Amino acid sequence: MMTAVDGKITGPFMETDAANGVNHEYERTNNFYNPQVWLCGRVTTNENFTFYHKPNLDRNAPVVSEGDFVAVKDAPMYYVSVDA
């Protein structure tokens, strides 16, 4: 993840020569490791994927048991969103 000193991941700094070099290295590393997970924070998820949409939750749904959970086994890519 490339960030500015203030922790932002987007902004005018993305257009600098320094950022171009970092972006190239990010893409090279990503292509080398070919990750199966895309990890983003809550703000990035809200701004770029959910657009702040709140899902309608079924309050009567059964409780999910503790332990590992995989949504779709052997999916080509997983998306994980985290929030402190």
Q: Identify the pLDDT of residue 46.
A: 94
Domain range for 51 is 35-56+68-84
- Write the pLDDT tens digit of every residue in 34-63: 999 999 989 889 999 999 999 999 999 999
- Write the pLDDT tens digit of every residue in 63-84: 988 998 878 888 999 999 999 8
pLDDT band at 3 (very low <50, low <70, confident <90, very high): confident
Instruction: Quickly tell me which residue has 């490339």 as its tokens.
Output: 2
If one counts the domains in the chain, the total is 1
Residue 21 lies in a domain: no
CA 62 to chain centre: 27
Residue 44 lies in a domain: yes
Residue 27 lies in a domain: no
Residue 78 lies in a domain: yes
CB 55 within 8 A of CB 81: no
- Average the pLDDT over 17-25 and give the result: 90
Residue 46 lies in a domain: yes
